[in-house]
């Protein structure tokens, strides 16, 4: 597993925290344990890669409420819920809200490790996606209003002649805009430009 990743463990039961921390650390994982959701929120830094192993039932803010709070704060950390018996309806709700898995206590150590491995991979993929998205959005922000307007037509499959007619400007001007768009967006081809706009939702961003 990624040695830079941290397993954030939140459980109000002291014995469970200690036992799980010792087990996970024995496999080479970094662990930070917290007795409550509030303590986790106070100390968590979203710049640290990893995943959250979270007890579903806790006094104060419970696991489900913490999940909703993280969503509210736009913190996208993979969550593995730990639960007791009779939490099936809650597990369905948690999974629909984006949890990686929902493991019932007592659980098999290998099952937990496999879930953590999956969560760490998911976190790494999400971080790569978000970094690429930030770069693409920064490039898009460099476009002028007219270039954004032209790009909308370009990714929709319109030819330069059609765009020129639609915007009532010369074909040559469209050629210049198109070249600048490709340069600023750092796209090597039209398919690449279309792919990045679709993947990162640029086609839905209103022009300034």
The predicted model gives 113-125 an average pLDDT of 94
- Would you give the DSSP letter of residue 59? S
142-204 to CATH, choices 3.30.450.20, 3.30.70.270, 3.40.50.1820, 1.10.10.10:
1.10.10.10
The pLDDT tens digits of the residues spanning 5-28 come to 999 999 999 999 999 999 999 999
- Would you give the DSSP letter of residue 159? -
CA angle, 114 as apex, 110 and 117 as ends, to 5°? 140
Task: Provide the β-strand partners of residue 33.
Answer: 9
Q: Domain residues of the chain, as ranges? A: 6-129, 142-204
On the question of a common fold for 6-129 and 142-204, the answer reads no
30-34 and 79-83 strand pairing: unpaired
For 46, the 3-state DSSP assignment is coil
Q: What is the pLDDT of residue 6?
A: 96
**Residue 40 near residue 6, CB atoms below 8 Å:** no
CA dihedral 110, 111, 112, 118 (to 10 degrees): 110
For the structural domain made of 6-129, what CATH number should be given?
3.40.50.2300
């Amino acid at each position: 597993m990624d040695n830079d990743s941290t397993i954030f463990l939140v459980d109000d039961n002291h014995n469970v925290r200690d036992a799980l921390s010792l087990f996970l650390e024995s496999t080479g994982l970094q662990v930070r344990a917290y007795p409550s959701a509030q303590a986790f929120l106070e100390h968590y830094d979203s710049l640290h890669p990893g995943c959250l192993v979270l007890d579903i039932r806790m006094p104060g803010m419970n696991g489900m409420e913490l999940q909703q709070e993280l969503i509210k704060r736009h913190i996208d950390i993979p969550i593995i819920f730990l639960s007791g018996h009779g939490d099936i309806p809650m597990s369905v709700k948690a999974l629909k809200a984006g949890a990686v898995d929902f493991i019932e206590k007592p659980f098999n150590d290998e099952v937990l490790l496999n879930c953590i491995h999956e969560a760490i991979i998911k976190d790494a993929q999400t971080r790569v996606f978000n970094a690429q998205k930030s770069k693409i959005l920064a490039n898009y922000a460099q476009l002028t209003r007219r270039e954004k307007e032209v790009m909308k037509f370009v990714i929709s499959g319109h030819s330069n002649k059609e765009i020129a007619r639609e915007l009532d400007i010369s074909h040559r001007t469209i050629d210049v805009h198109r070249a600048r768009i490709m340069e600023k967006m750092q796209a090597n081809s039209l398919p690449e430009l279309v792919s990045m706009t679709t993947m990162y939702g640029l086609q839905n961003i209103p022009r300034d």
